[in-house]
Amino acid sequence: MGQGSEALKEQHTMNEFLRTGHYIGGEWHESHGASDATYPVLNPATGETIAKVAKGGADDTQRAIDAAAHAFPAWRALTAKERGARVKRWGELMLEHRDALAELLTREQGKPLAEARGEVAYAASFLEWFAEEAKRMYGDVIPSPKPDAQIVVTREPVGVVAAITPWNFPLAMITRKAGPALAAGCTMVLKPSEETPLSAFALAVLAERAGVPAGVFNVVSGDAVAIGETLTSSSVVRKLSFTGSTRVGKLLAKQSADTLKKLSLELGGNAPFIVFDDADLDAAVTGAIASKFRNTGQTCVCVNRFLVQDGVYDAFTRKLADAVRTLRVGNALVDEVDQGPLINEAALGKVERHVADATAKGAHALTGGKRHGLGGTFYEPTVLTGMTADMLIAEEETFGPVAGCFRFTTEEEAVAAANDTPFGLSAYFYTRDLGRAWRVSGALESGMVGVNDGIISTEVAPFGGVKQSGLGREGSKYGLDEYVELKYTLMAGLGR
């Protein structure tokens, strides 16, 4: 097939899912083109405008809340099997259109196509899982102290749910919330990141095709402040689920206080990756690459601090640097690459500040350490040695392709350093010692721990953190609990 045919095929794929307006009550509300009513969505690899998207505000959000509230009674009245069939079909359609969704995702987010295809499958897995798990939304029967009474506990949908999602996983972070919410009988208003609204709109297209009724799933993109304030102040919205920074999570929690919403907050991290001297170093390097450099280091669970025991420090950092040098950087739509660009100039600036701070305080770059020759927001995959606790990387989430390596001497020292942070989302360590594996995993102050593995996310396990990394869990049977309330009913007079 010639280049012209490929271009036409690519354009057709884009047009099938490309939407630029809000999805409210089963209808698309396109922008009329006023300069203050739209905003551009950019390809971070090229800086080119992919589309101009309607810029929603308070009025659009209120219409979406009203639509969700109107749809809720009929949706909750369906059986779990009926709701699950639609949610499951939604996931199946994602897989059927995997390549098209991946291409759209890569265009607006920048991650390599292979990773984008992986995200489509990962996102669909939440819909499949919760479509089935909601059928097991069991209650309880409790023996009553009264002889003529029965105590019944049921689990009921919380109601209208607001979801606010980030740009780093623009499909999976939506389905991880929408899957359990819709399967449990809730309706949803989604506010996706302004950086990646097109993936969210594509999901809405597929939800409609899957038979999800009008008003059950609504999408409004645009003014984050206006949309957020409308969602948090509404007494109709009974649940808020947010994935993003700790700073914004705290703000949303404060704004939600007046209406006492049920909250799920998946916030920032500062993940340690501990390499003990008995570790399989080759396996540790493989895990480090998978965790640190996936999505250009822009994941909430990626490693931020490498803690390496003295006896293997030089060998591990050398092996890690050798592996990092092989990573291919570029535009994932035209090249076979392992790493794409950072999402925007602000993200690039933070990475540069962290590296400059570290090198000014004595760190040394074994590889990388500067902007990539491709320009734009590309940054060289970087390995830093000689890291110390007074550097920014020790305190803040870099959210970029920088591996800062710290030394430690004893197990106790490593655990203390790993826990020396207000965050506690994820942690990783490598060891061959079974006793140490249990001991250290128990001592780490983290919601999730990977032992001899750098990839821990799955739909069947509870995802979430402790300390200032958030509240609640997503995924697994525990994720369903976030979207239901318990109702206790005392049935008396039954023996008369």
Both 146 and 183 in one domain: the answer is: yes
DSSP at 306: E
What CATH number should be reported for the domain holding residue 450?
A: 3.40.309.10
Helix axes 113-133, 172-184, angle to 10 degrees: 10
Q: Kindly state whether residues 71 and 109 are assigned to the same domain.
A: yes
What is the structure's pLDDT at 3? 38
Q: Do residues 423 and 249 make contact, with C-beta atoms less than 8 angstroms apart?
A: no
Which parts of 134-194 fold into alpha helices (H)? 172-184
Residue 399 phi, psi dihedral angles, 5° rounding: 60, 50
* Residue partners of 53: CB distance under 8 A and separation at least 6: 20, 21, 31, 38, 39, 40, 41, 197, 198, 221, 222
For 485, phi then psi, to 5°, come to -120, 150
Cα distance between residue 471 and residue 95, in whole Å: 31
Task: Count Cβ atoms below 10 Å from residue 357 Cβ, excluding itself.
Answer: 16
- Residue 57 in domain: yes
Does residue 298 share a domain with residue 163? no
Amino acid identity of residue 155, one-letter, is R
Are 429 and 230 contacting, i.e. CB atoms less than 8 angstroms apart? no
Parallel, antiparallel or unpaired: strands 160-164 and 150-157: unpaired
Same structural domain, 256 and 371: no
Q: Is the dihedral angle over the CA atoms 208, 212, 215, 216 positive or is it negative? A: negative
The verdict on 341 and 389 lying in the same domain is: yes
260 to 178, 232, 238, 305: CA distances (angstroms): 21, 10, 8, 36
Query: CB of 54 within 8 A of CB of 38?
Result: yes
CA distance 300 to 179: 20
Question: Is 492 part of any domain?
Answer: no
Q: Is 373 exposed, middle or buried (0-12, 13-18, 19+ CB in 10 A)?
A: exposed
Q: Are 182 and 171 in contact (CB under 8 A)?
A: no
Q: What is the pLDDT of residue 15?
A: 77
198/107 Cα distance (integer angstroms): 10
Which residues have a Cβ under 8 Å from the Cβ of 346 and sit 6 or more positions away? none
DSSP string for residues in 380-414: --EEEES--TTSHHHHS---SSEEEEEEE-SHHHH
Supply the pTM of this predicted model.
0.95
Give CA torsion, residues 260, 263, 269, 272, to 10 deg. Answer: 120
Q: Cα separation of 189 and 69, whole Å? A: 10
Residue that has been written with the tokens 């750098």 in this structure: 454
Assess if residue 300 is contained within a domain. yes
The domain of 330 spans 271-459
What CA–CA distances, in Å, run from 274 to 211, 363, 433?
A: 47, 19, 13
Counts of helices then strands in the chain (DSSP H, E): 16, 22
Q: Are residues 255 and 333 in the same domain?
A: no
pLDDT at residue 121 in the model:
98
| Cα–Cα distance list, 422 to 279, 352, 465 (Å) | 27, 23, 11
> Is 467 a member of any domain?
no
| Inside any domain, residue 220 | yes
- Contact present, 116 and 332 (Cβ < 8 Å): yes
Give the span between the Cα atoms of 9 and 39, in whole angstroms.
Answer: 27
Do strands 187-191 and 160-164 pair parallel, antiparallel, or not at all (unpaired)? parallel
- The pLDDT value given to residue 5: 38
**In a shared domain, residues 240 and 121:** yes
406 inside domain: yes
Integer Cα distance of 119 and 438 in angstroms = 31
Task: Kindly state whether residues 302 and 365 are assigned to the same domain.
Answer: yes
| Contacts of 116 by beta carbon, 8 Å cutoff, 6+ apart | 101, 102, 103, 105, 106, 109, 332
CA distances (Å), origin 27, targets 19, 54, 110, 128, 477: 12, 14, 29, 25, 32
- Residues 332 and 201 both lie in one domain: no
Tell whether 86 and 63 lie within a shared domain. Answer: yes
Number of separate domains in the chain: 2
Q: Which of 128, 266, 397, 482 is catalytic?
A: 266
Distance (Å) of CA 250 to CA 98, 224, 256, 468, 492:
35, 15, 10, 9, 44
Q: Tokens standing for 458?
A: 């799955």
Q: Any catalytic annotation for residue 413?
A: no
10-residue mean pLDDT series, the chain (496 residues): 39 76 94 66 97 95 98 98 98 97 97 97 98 95 92 98 98 99 99 98 98 99 97 99 98 98 98 99 98 97 98 99 98 91 98 99 98 97 99 97 99 99 98 98 98 97 98 97 98 78
Task: Note whether 266 and 286 are within 8 A (CB).
Answer: no
Residue 466 falls inside a structural domain: no
Instruction: Please tell me the distance from the alpha carbon of residue 434 to that of residue 321, in angstroms, as a whole number.
Output: 28
Residues 287 and 430 in one domain: yes
What CATH number does the domain containing 248 carry?
A: 3.40.605.10
Q: Are residues 279 and 254 in the same domain?
A: no
491 inside domain = no
pLDDT, residue 335, reads 82
